[in-house]
Amino acid sequence: MLEVRKICKSYGKKQVLQNLSFAIQPGEVYGLLGPNGAGKTTTISILCGLIQSDRGLVTMNGQNASSLTRSLIGVAPQENIFYKSLTCEENLRFFGQLYGLSNEACRKQAQYCLDLVGLGDRAKSIADSLSGGMQRRLSMAIALVHQPQLVVLDEPTTGLDIEARYEVWELIRKLRSQDTAILLTTHMLEEAERLCQRIGIIKQGSLLAEGSLEELRKHVPAQEIAIICTPTEDLAIARAIELGFTYRYYGRDLAFWLPRVMELKEILECFEGIPIDSIMRQPVRLENIYVEVTQGSK
C-alpha cells in the first residue's frame, strides 16, 4: 500500500533523512520509533504532502504521492486537531467537507466514525467538555472521516491515563481488523510492543533496524535477561565475562544476557561468592532491543 523508497531531506547543511525506506501493508500496524530528532516528524510531513523530499519516492497503491493520493491518508497528530467550541458532530462534518464529502456523506460518516471510536452518544457534546481520552478518540475520528486507507497516529496516547490509553489501544486494534494500514509513532515502547506487527527504528534519519519483534530480537542474542543488584558490581561483571555473559546497564540496573533460560538457583551458582541483594529475570523486551540498536550506532 504505502512504499517509501530512499527518501532524503536536508535543511541547509543538516541532513534530517538519509535514504529512508520502509513499506506498510493493509491491516498492518507499523511502528516508527526513534529518539527525538530522529526524523519521524519530517517523515510524516513528507507522507502527508506538507513538505517535499529532496530525493526518493513515496507511493500509495503504486501511484506517486501527490494531491491525488493525499485523500488516502488520515492523520491524527500529537496535538489534538479540532475546534473546541464545536460539537463532536460539527467537527467531523466540517473536516469531512474539507475532504470534499457531500453534506449527506458528512452526516453519515460523522455518525459512523463517532460510533467507531466509542463517542456515538457524545455527538452533540462540545469538544472542549470531553475528557483527555475522549478528545484523543475524537481526533482519531476526524482522521478517519474521509475513509482513508492509511492512518498516521503520532504519539496517540501521550499524556493519557492508563484507562484512556487502553481505550486508544483497543481502537487501533479495531482499525487494524478492518484492514486499515496504520503508521504509529510512539515513545512508549510497551505500546509498540503490544500493537505493532513490524517496527522500524530510526536514528539521525537512517533506518537502523526493521522487522517483527521476533526478528528484532537478533540484536539482543539472549534467551533471558537477569537484572542483578549487588554492592560489588565490578566483581559480578568480571564473573560474567568469565562465563561469556554480555552485560549492559539499563539506566542504573546492571543486566546480564543469559544464553539460555536459567533457574534462579543456577544463576546464583554462577555468581557464587559474590554478594547478591536481588535478582530479577525478564524476557528480552523491545526496550532492550531499542537501546542496543540506537546506542550501538553511536
User: Which pLDDT score is estimated for 213?
Assistant: 95
pLDDT tens by residue, 233-254: 999 999 999 999 999 999 999 9
Same domain, 207 and 222: no
What's 63's domain CATH number?
3.40.50.300
Same domain, 25 and 137: yes
Same domain, 148 and 71: yes
Q: Which of 191, 211, 231 is the last residue of a domain?
A: 211
**Is residue 159 over pLDDT 90?**
no
Residue, of 68 and 123, whose pLDDT is higher: 123
2-11, strands of its sheet edge to edge: 14-24, 2-11, 55-60, 63-64
Same domain, 186 and 243: no
Number of domains in the chain: 2
The H-assigned helical ranges of the chain are 40-47, 88-98, 103-116, 132-144, 162-177, 189-195, 213-216, 233-243, 264-270, 286-295
pLDDT band at 223 (very low <50, low <70, confident <90, very high): very high
Q: Which of 211, 245, 268 is the last residue of a domain?
A: 211
Task: Tell me if 213 sits within 8 A of 224, measured CB to CB.
Answer: no
**Is residue 298 over pLDDT 90?**
no
Asked whether the CA dihedral 213, 193, 281, 220 is positive or negative, the reply is positive
pLDDT tens by residue, 260-272: 999 999 999 999 9
Q: What is the domain extent for residue 62?
A: 2-211
Same domain, 53 and 196: yes
Same domain, 229 and 172: no
Same domain, 206 and 238: no
DSSP 65: P
User: Which pLDDT score is estimated for 111?
Assistant: 94
**Is residue 102 over pLDDT 80?**
yes
Q: Which of 187, 211, 235 is the last residue of a domain?
A: 211
Here the cell at position 225 is 535477561
User: Which pLDDT score is estimated for 64?
Assistant: 82
Same domain, 23 and 150: yes
Q: What is the mean pLDDT of the chain?
A: 93
Same domain, 32 and 143: yes
**Is residue 68 over pLDDT 70?**
no
Same domain, 204 and 118: yes
pLDDT band at 70 (very low <50, low <70, confident <90, very high): confident
User: pTM for this structure?
Assistant: 0.91
Average pLDDT over residues 70-79: 89
Same domain, 158 and 223: no
